[in-house]
Amino acid sequence: MGSRSRVVGASALFSAALMASVTVRAAQPFVDDFSFTDDQLLFGKCGSFDIIADGAGTVRLTTYFDRAGLPIRVGMNGKYSGTLTNSVTGAFLVDSPSVVHLTIDLVSGIETHVGTFFNITVPGVGNVYFDAGRLVFDGNGPPIFIAGQQHPPPETLAILCEALQ
């Protein structure tokens, strides 16, 4: 092979490598970290009193892209600690820590939740409500897969109302 062919070949390889590098860089995940607070948020109604939520949490959202730069998956990691308070008596429960990892496959539409969604205790007494495991949704209604200990929302509210009496 002549020197001119080597230069053209090397130039083509360099250009291809540069383009691949640009494509890989464009496909790097985008990460967004933020914090939030709940301040006197109405969590539920228990007949003669309301459940008021106060707390704080952190969230990390990560968006993943294919080589063309299109989003293909979103991941969320969240952590929350707070209290649930009886609006009349001031009795309270502690929710800490609640930790969840959520993944949404933007191509298939499958959404997966894994974690300790609620870890609620009466200080000095112990756990009154624990909701943890894995839930998988296909985007068309209720979960298509459930593992672990989960309660339907009406049951959750009944348990918390009773604990805050």
Per-residue pLDDT of the chain (165 residues; tens, 9 = 90+): 443 333 333 333 333 433 444 444 457 999 999 999 999 999 999 999 999 999 999 999 999 999 999 999 999 999 999 999 999 999 999 999 999 999 999 999 999 999 999 999 998 899 999 999 999 999 888 899 999 998 888 899 999 999 999
Cα separation values, 153 from 43, 89, 108, 150, 158, Å: 11, 23, 27, 9, 9
Residues in the chain: 165
Confidence at residue 84, expressed as pLDDT on a 0 to 100 scale: 97
> What pLDDT does residue 140 have?
84
- Listed in sequence order, the DSSP H helices in the chain are 3-26, 153-163
| Angle ∠(155,133,96) on CA atoms, nearest 5 | 75
Q: What are residue 134's DSSP bridge partners?
A: 114, 147
Give pLDDT, residue 13: 37
Long-range contacts at 136-142 (CB < 8 A, ≥ 24 apart): 136/110, 136/111, 136/112, 137/110, 137/111, 137/112, 137/113, 138/109, 138/110, 138/111, 139/109, 139/110, 139/111
**What is the structure's pLDDT at 58?**
97
- pLDDT value at residue 152: 85
